Chain A
Amino acid sequence: MVAIALEHGGRAAAVPFVATAGATFPTVVDEHGVTSAHLGFKAVPNGVLVDEGGVIQWSKYGGFSIENPEDVAVVERFLAGEDPGLSPDATPPYQLGPTERELVATKLQLGQASAQRGRREEAIAAWRDALRLDPENLTIRKQIWAVEHPEKFHPTIDWEWQRAQFTAEREQEIAAGICGPDGCPIPPASRDGERATAS
């Protein structure tokens, strides 16, 4: 196993977790979202099973847990040389093109550099720029929340707040035309409106 920590604020945030886990496997830190950009995932935790040739054989994006017996069973089966079975149906919604990917990485790098110098507002501005390019990227969004609303993360993570905040922010962004590479979803209300006009 290799653990990859997505920490756009720098590796320091993950240190206590690595120490607590007493990691006996390689742990690396991805500060600039390289892995999420390549694999097209927008949130963590994720489990990806890779064969001897480096080919992905199974993946679970979102909700993967090494404490979930079902997930553990799949991993054990695969490591024993067996077929891991079908992946949960979780197609990443989109993947950025190379130029957007580079831009997002640059903005994340800027944000991290600012955060490490204690320039909170500049860091948030850079992360917001990255999020505008990749609005469904939850790792970037949560990084911003963790700085803007630390009380929602410590001592416990307020999942209810996250869900409500995500919905509210996405609604505002879509209304402002920030939709990601696949464009904006058509809101049901406007389809009803068209039908009403046509009839």
Chain B
Amino acid sequence: MRGTRPEGETVTRFETTANVGATVPDIVLPRFEGGELRFVELRGKRLLLFFWGSW
């Protein structure tokens, strides 16, 4: 499994509505065009994460 857990994670469930206030963990995923994307590398700018599926 790729990706790591949030630091010091003990809570198994986000209590906040819609996860607002939670920090996006340092997930690492393969890019379509090759290579990898580390989510922590995206820090420093505002961002939209768009989750979708082809089905």
Contact = CB atoms under 8 A, between A and B. Distances in A.
Contacts of B23: 53-56
B21 to A, nearest CB: 7
A62 B33 CA distance: 27
Nearest to B40: A54
Contact of B55 (A34, A40, A46, A143): A143
Interface string B15-44: 001111111110101111100010110111
A39 B42 contact: no
Given A27-B31, A29-B32, A142 B18 contact: no
Contacts, number: 181
A24 to B, nearest CB: 12
Contacts of B13: 40, 94-95
A149 B23 CA distance: 37
B48 A47 contact: yes
Interface residues of A, number: 74
A56 B25 CA distance: 11
Given A88-B18, A91-B17, A4 B52 contact: yes
Interface residues of B, number: 41
Which of B19, B30, B45: most chain A CB closer than 10 A? Answer: B19
A70 interface: no
A32 B43 CA distance: 23
Given A28-B29, A157-B55, A78 B46 contact: yes
Contact of B52 (A3, A78, A88): A3
Nearest to B44: A52
B1 A5 contact: no
Interface string A24-62: 001111101011101111001111111111111111110
Nearest to A36: B51
A49 B47 contact: yes
Across the A-B interface, give the 7 residue pairs with the lowest CB-CB distance, nearest first. Answer: A87-B18, A28-B29, A34-B3, A105-B1, A46-B51, A48-B49, A97-B12
